[in-house]
């Protein structure tokens, strides 16, 4: 009962101090990437998971592969000897604020192509999880997405798609038709409220979810940050409020949320439970810095949920 995800992971340099980046004396080293964040979240919840991607033949690439293995994710990596692993720099201009710069054009990860995929692993998976970021990075990456979706469909796997719009990678005009096509081929779609509005033109989360469901997926989840989430599946609509936490760093909340939802889906849990665990994972992920470092394991969720049941129907 495994999950396969594919995408680009990037080296991450975070300013060790608040202030202008050019005056910061040192940077902390790490990595991130929506799909590998989800993979780590799933591994922590005990789900066997493969992350597929292309990494440079460089220190950042080795760091990413090492860390994924250390977290229990099975990496399926193509080493690109002629392009580097992408980088992102996180600057902290003021307390509680951050600004990210990307150095990813022409990167190894963006050169992923269908031949890089281990399609046997896709065939064996229960869920294939994808994001719109992969569709944005290159034409060959879009072909890799197509090949993975096609294979998953033939094998009867659940295709999960998180829109994850990145306006720095492409315009809404370019992106929306691609997102709509991917949503139509997916069984499960996750979208933030803004992304759902982009896809549907609707303003209300319930109307957004219904409009996305009308495109084809049987499950739709609209993520609403500190307002919680709304889900549609099995003819049921469920709203879940966010848990009240002292949010320190909300980056990665959406990926932790997706991991929680997918773990419960694989465990056969009904929609309210899927959303409740997802919301707990999202909230816990906000309570410590890092894109994936704060993603919880089952024990952390159980302790957190002892505080009360947030599901409202
Ligand atoms: P990102 O791309 O930044 O990781 P996202 O836009 O995909 O995030 P969000 O809607 O921000 O996703 O967050 C996902 C879920 O995490 C929310 O539906 C909510 O349950 C939980 N969450 C997010 N922010 C908070 C918060 N400040 N307090 C509590 N829970 C939160």
Q: Which whole number is the average pLDDT over 46-74?
A: 98
Q: Which whole number is the average pLDDT over 220-243?
A: 96
Collapsing DSSP to helix, strand or coil, 163 comes out as coil
Instruction: Indicate the top mutation candidate among 33, 161, 282, 301 to test ligand 1's pocket, ranked by most ligand atoms within 8 A of CB.
Output: 282
Indicate if ipTM > 0.90: yes
| Gap between the Cα atoms of 114 and 129, Å rounded | 16
Of all atoms in ligand 1, which is nearest to the CA of residue 243? 29
Ligand 1 proximity of 18 Cβ (cutoff 6 Å) = no
Collapsing DSSP to helix, strand or coil, 88 comes out as strand
Distance from the alpha carbon of residue 82 to the mean position of ligand 1, in angstroms: 37
| Gap between the Cα atoms of 208 and 179, Å rounded | 14
Contact by Cβ (8 Å): 11, 36: no
Question: CB within 8 A of 30, min separation 6: which ones?
Answer: 11, 12, 13, 14, 290, 291, 293
Residue nearest atom 30 in ligand 1 by C-alpha distance:
283
Query: How many alpha carbons fall within 13 Å on the CB side of residue 231?
Result: 26
| Gap between the Cα atoms of 203 and 193, Å rounded | 8
Q: Which residues are catalytic?
A: 255
Predicted pLDDT of residue 308? 56
Residue nearest atom 25 in ligand 1 by C-alpha distance:
226
Residue nearest atom 27 in ligand 1 by C-alpha distance:
226
Residue 234 has pLDDT above 90, yes or no: no
Token pair listed for 262: 């997918």
Ligand 1 proximity of 283 Cβ (cutoff 6 Å) = yes
Residue nearest atom 29 in ligand 1 by C-alpha distance:
283
Kind of pairing between the strands at 10-15 and 158-162: unpaired
Distance from the alpha carbon of residue 225 to the mean position of ligand 1, in angstroms: 4
User: Can you list the alpha helix ranges (DSSP code H) found in 156-297?
Assistant: 172-185, 193-200, 205-213, 253-266, 271-285
| Gap between the Cα atoms of 313 and 307, Å rounded | 19
Residue 173 has pLDDT above 90, yes or no: yes
Predicted pLDDT of residue 294? 95
Nearest to 247 by CA among 268, 269, 229, 225: 225
Structure confidence by residue, pLDDT tens digits, 78-117: 999 999 999 999 999 988 788 999 999 999 999 999 999 9
Ligand 1 proximity of 282 Cβ (cutoff 6 Å) = yes
Ligand 1 proximity of 242 Cβ (cutoff 6 Å) = yes
Which is more confidently placed, 111 or 290?
111
Nearest to 27 by CA among 12, 13, 10, 39: 13
Nearest to 282 by CA among 39, 43, 38, 98: 38
Structure confidence by residue, pLDDT tens digits, 177-204: 999 999 999 999 999 999 999 999 999 9
| Gap between the Cα atoms of 154 and 16, Å rounded | 47
Predicted pLDDT of residue 97? 83
Ligand 1 proximity of 21 Cβ (cutoff 6 Å) = no
Distance from the alpha carbon of residue 254 to the mean position of ligand 1, in angstroms: 5
Helix (H) or strand (E) holding 142: helix 139-155
Name the one residue in this structure whose structure tokens are 């080795």: 62
Name the one residue in this structure whose structure tokens are 């949010």: 247
Ligand 1 proximity of 286 Cβ (cutoff 6 Å) = yes
Predicted pLDDT of residue 313? 45
Ligand 1 proximity of 245 Cβ (cutoff 6 Å) = yes
Q: Which whole number is the average pLDDT over 223-233?
A: 97
Distance from the alpha carbon of residue 150 to the mean position of ligand 1, in angstroms: 30
In degrees and rounded to multiples of 5, residue 263 shows phi and psi of -60, -40
Residue 309 has pLDDT above 70, yes or no: no
Q: Give 312's pLDDT tier (boundaries 50, 70, 90).
A: very low
Give me the chain's average pLDDT, please.
Answer: 95
Give, rounded to a whole angstrom, the gap between the first and last alpha carbons of the chain.
29
Name the one residue in this structure whose structure tokens are 């096609």: 150
The neighbouring-strand residues paired with 129 are 5, 160
Residue nearest atom 9 in ligand 1 by C-alpha distance:
225
Angle, vertex CA 91, rays to CA 100 and CA 86, nearest 5:
45
Distance from the alpha carbon of residue 230 to the mean position of ligand 1, in angstroms: 12
Fold of 3-8+34-84+105-305: 3.40.1190
Predicted pLDDT of residue 248? 87
Question: CB within 8 A of 58, min separation 6: which ones?
Answer: 84, 85
Residue 126 has pLDDT above 60, yes or no: yes
Distance from the alpha carbon of residue 192 to the mean position of ligand 1, in angstroms: 9
């Amino acid at each position: 009962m495994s999950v396969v995800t594919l995408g680009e992971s990037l080296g991450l340099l975070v300013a060790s101090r608040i202030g202008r980046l050019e005056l910061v004396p040192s940077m902390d080293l790490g990595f991130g990437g929506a799909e590998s964040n989800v993979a780590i979240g799933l591994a922590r919840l005990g789900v066997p998971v493969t992350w597929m991607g292309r990494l440079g033949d460089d220190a950042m690439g080795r760091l990413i592969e090492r860390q994924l293995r250390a977290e229990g994710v099975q990496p399926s990596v193509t080493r690109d000897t002629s392009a580097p692993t992408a980088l992102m720099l996180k600057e902290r201009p003021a307390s509680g604020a951050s600004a990210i710069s990307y150095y990813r054009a022409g990167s190894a990860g963006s050169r992923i192509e269908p031949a890089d995929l281990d399609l046997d692993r896709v065939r064996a998976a229960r869920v294939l999880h994808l994001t719109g970021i992969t569709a944005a990075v290159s034409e060959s990456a879009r072909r890799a997405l197509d090949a993975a979706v096609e294979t998953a469909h033939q094998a009867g796997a659940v295709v999960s798609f998180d829109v994850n719009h990145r306006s720095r990678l492409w315009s809404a005009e370019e992106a929306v038709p691609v997102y709509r096509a991917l949503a139509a081929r997916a069984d499960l779609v996750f979208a933030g409220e803004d992304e759902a509005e982009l896809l549907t033109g609707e303003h209300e989360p319930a109307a957004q979810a219904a409009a996305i469901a009308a495109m084809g997926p049987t499950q739709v989840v609209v993520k609403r940050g500190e307002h919680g989430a709304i889900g549609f599946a099995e003819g049921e609509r469920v709203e879940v409020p966010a848990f009240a936490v002292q949010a320190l760093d909300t980056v990665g909340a959406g990926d932790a949320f997706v991991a929680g939802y997918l773990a419960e889906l694989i465990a056969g849990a009904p929609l309210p439970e899927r959303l409740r665990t997802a919301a707990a994972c999202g909230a816990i992920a906000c309570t410590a810095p890092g894109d994936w470092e704060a993603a919880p394991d089952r024990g952390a969720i159980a302790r957190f949920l002892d505080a009360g049941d947030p599901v409202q129907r």
